[in-house]
Structure 1
């Protein structure tokens, strides 16, 4: 099974992990809808929906760049409609867009709190809700529809909350969507899963966090390859999982991960949050 001719709607696909997932799917000849906010170049944060589209086409896919605010219902509805008009339907939704602020409660402004909940929780829920009719049609046509949320395994351990309560709640909100929607959509034959990295991933967003040593990170391609394994699996049986990238790759016989290191030969990586 591959992704040739499938249409993927990927939020936050103008850079980083979302773009890496898009380019991996494009190698199969997939159609990629780039639903992201950045339409103009930002010197601090490279990558726009248009530069991403060019990279996707170069990788072998078709691209539809759509400036989209996933917090806004009208923006999401319009983007989904344009995607269906362009490609005839949607087979896969990747809820990748996310906002982060690793701040304790006194330092978390409510504006930042609202941003994280608006993007991570509301955005994921809204995109999934809006995409559902298209995913149902994809299932009826035997096209193996999936929802993939880039969110962590759920844990009720205090240490994953203390220090950044708001961020943890917002990311776990995405994972709760996985848990609930996997059960809700199973009768339709739609797979809903989460994917999360064991190590920190070298992205432009991460580089904006002070004190992070990018040389002790892995590249976004590790998540792209892991996501590909999820999205090409049987949606009727692969659902409700919280996959960790290296564990999933190992289950498919991929154990040499050195090519994913920012610095080949690295033995000690910065661990990501939420993985015990």
Structure 2
């Protein structure tokens, strides 16, 4: 069991917290004492087969003793994102951690993917990351706590992705924005990093698109633990990195990853190889 940092008095604005990885990150940070701004599209799941809303996530975080606030936000809309950032700051007083997790996915060949789905992924993934980070920049420069912009996106280590070109392009764009910010904000002590799982993670998208089987998957908790470990570091020193979950957790002393596996055995590096076909575990 990893030791949690003390994030008391800090506040995280997290996109896409309705379920899956975003919700796991929110709950893990709340467990460490961090106040949570839960954001996303879903505010009512009564007519959906999928359980989860931004309010339910906020409520579960509040049960851990932290302050929470839920905001419905469309990360594609510049005015909506700016208004959400201002509301979060007004409600919470200070936001020092911004986590870009919201993401759209569609796995198809170029020939089969409609143009509007290509646009959607780039607007949610790349534009959403750009707008969310940008909305908080001035505020992050003035925070008293350690300031972070963290993005759920892979290292940029490929020049093609047959069958997944549009999705891969949009996810790498998220990292490109984040790592570019690390240089642009080099003198502001804001840690800008992307994080990505080595294996596929058990989420709605993973199951819907049939990305392997349960033998290939881990729970969202491994990504949440990765974020928490990053937040133990000094943002002035740890910035401009695109990291894999296993690498960060190994540095923290984790040797046995079986607690994260859905089934017995070691899942292959399916997610890492999607973006780096030559990836090999250390």
- Normalising by the smaller structure, the TM-score range is over 0.9
Match of 2:148 in 1: 146
After superposition, the CA RMSD in angstroms is 1.4
TM-score when scaled to structure 2?
A: 0.92
Deviation, 1:163, is: 1.6
Match of 1:6 in 2: 10
Aligned equivalents of 2:192 and 2:269: distance in 1?
A: 28
Unaligned ranges ≥5, structure 1: none
Deviation, 1:62, is: 2.0
Among 14, 34, 38, the alignment partner of 1:34 is 38
Aligned equivalents of 1:79 and 1:244: distance in 2?
A: 30
Aligned equivalents of 2:69 and 2:58: distance in 1?
A: 7
Per-residue deviation, residues 140-196 of structure 1 (Å, max 9, x unmatched)? x2x1100001100111343xx222211111111111112210101121110000100
Aligned equivalents of 1:270 and 1:192: distance in 2?
A: 25
Structure 1, 88-97 or 204-213: larger mean CA deviation: 204-213
1:253-272 to structure 2, matched below 5 A, reads 253-263=253-263, 265-269=264-268, 271-272=270-271
The answer to whether the 8 Å contact 1:219/1:261 transfers is yes
The answer to whether the 8 Å contact 1:29/1:62 transfers is no
User: How many residues are matched?
Assistant: 270
Deviation, 1:35, is: 1.3
1:1-276 to structure 2, matched below 5 A, reads 2-41=6-45, 43-138=48-143, 141=144, 143-158=145-160, 161-210=161-210, 212-263=212-263, 265-269=264-268, 271-272=270-271, 273-275=274-276, 276=279
Aligned equivalents of 2:36 and 2:20: distance in 1?
A: 15
The answer to whether the 8 Å contact 2:13/2:39 transfers is yes
Counterparts in 2 of 1:44 and 1:208: CA distance versus 1, 3 Å: farther
Deviation, 1:270, is: 6.3
Secondary structure, aligned partner of 1:18: helix
Unaligned ranges ≥5, structure 2: none
Deviation, 1:211, is: 5.9
The answer to whether the 8 Å contact 1:7/1:87 transfers is yes
Aligned equivalents of 2:105 and 2:89: distance in 1?
A: 31
Aligned equivalents of 2:208 and 2:165: distance in 1?
A: 20
Aligned equivalents of 2:247 and 2:211: distance in 1?
A: 27
The answer to whether the 8 Å contact 2:158/2:275 transfers is no
Per-residue deviation, residues 74-130 of structure 1 (Å, max 9, x unmatched)? 111111111111111210100000111111111111110111011000000000000
Aligned equivalents of 2:243 and 2:212: distance in 1?
A: 24
Structure 1 segments (4+ residues) deviating >3 Å? none
